[in-house]
Structure 1
Amino acid sequence: MLDVEPPDYYPVIDKLFADELEDALWPFGITVREMRVRVEPLEKVLTLHFDILLEREEGFPLPNVEAIVLGILDKLTEEATSTFGRLYGVSFRVGRVNIKERIIRKQNPGNPTLIVEGPSELKPVLARVGKGLIIKMKEWGYSPSTVTLSFDNEAVSIAVKMTSRLNTYDKLTLKSALVEKAAAHLKTLLGRRFPVEVRILDPSDRVIKVLERNKRTIEERIQELLSNEDVKALMDALGRKPP
């Protein structure tokens, strides 16, 4: 749930901050349950104050989640200023940040968690593909803790979270095998091929690296904002117009 005050800033915060933060955290099984953002405009600076509630399952070591989230917000602020802010002559800065974390106990600790995200009509297909991949990984001797499948822009993204560290060779081998299996399953179930992206995550991976590898670029979000009539009206009211 996203709540923005003043509400006129909702589209900007949603596209440039909320969506990006969720995209950076979801491969690790971390869900942004609530986000409240208060925007303080002062001349050419928009100061953002955050209250964030995070939820994640126990069992995956991810120390200092607060520092990780602050690092992501700082990076998003820089990107928002250098892209959208540059067009309108404004800059963003992070003000007060309050982060609360809720740990959820797994119902079946021995079984990997399967998460699917996408259109409702495709979720059963994604779930079948995910269950098949989990079975295959167990046959290959791997023990994932979480497998996430997401469908967006006619492509499937798969994130596999491991509880122990894998060497580079094992990551590349597993990634290649999962791309092949997932593509084959999707073609069988849906009748055509879809691009498949796989990420293998372990405790050595940093969330910032995942953010940098996000498939949907910041430029695409900027284009959506520039065509949003509410955003245009807001920036006009602030006396800001793109060149």
Structure 2
Amino acid sequence: MTSLWHGALIDAHVWHARSGRVGRQFRYDACYLALPLNGFEEGHLPITPDGAGIWSVRLRDHGARDGSAPSAFLRKVLAPLGLAHCEGTLVTMPRSPFYGFNPVSFWLARDGSGLRAVLAEVSSTFGEHHFYLCHHPDNRPIDRSDRISGRKVFHVSPFLPRDGHYVFRFDSGPGRFGAWVDWVGADGQTGLQTSLAGPARRLTPRVLSRAAQKHPFQAQKIMALIHWQAAKLALRGAKFRSRPRQMDQRSSEATDRVERDV
């Protein structure tokens, strides 16, 4: 069965459901790559850092955004938790020709006991980004049924306030990947549910080439869908919120355990 830790292509189904006065949900498909950091940096995968091709992964789009090695970035993030020994895999959508945009990428960190932490790298359409470091306070392995919560501190959607908190859940396989991120407002009500999940295939040159040829401009497609759905919300009367000045902090932790669905 395909392991994300050996390299995989994820045929992801993305779902968003908004509740409240202006409810709406939509789905679309997207191909994500699971890139084990050591193999990626050493050139053992069909796609290489800053390499040429229909699809590419540019180092300046991720992590420290200075072109440095992704594995060094992740170790630095995990070191204060005592998890610098963990191996990492980056789950991300590749760049298309002339363009790249990732609403969210996930840095998975595991050791022999299992998945220890997930760094969710959230990006806005304004070119801003924030890291939510998800882990248990005692760093025990994250089970696929665990729900971990953290305060929302980064403004993304003009139709949601910058308050409340997120509830994260992850499934790191084998044979699949899943990430569920729900937003709970200050009133305690779940206002937005999202998921990115799908089966994983082993990342081979043939699999990568065929997927890239089938979806050569998927990054442009995703950006167009984001604006299309935003236009629909605006036409339905959803409250538009001006973009506030982002907080100075560029990373925060999500460590609160959620005992039940919210």
Task: Output the TM-score relative to the length of structure 2.
Answer: 0.28
Which structure features the higher share of helix residues? 1
Q: Which has the larger radius of gyration?
A: 1
Which structure features the higher share of strand residues? 2
Task: Output the TM-score relative to the length of structure 1.
Answer: 0.29
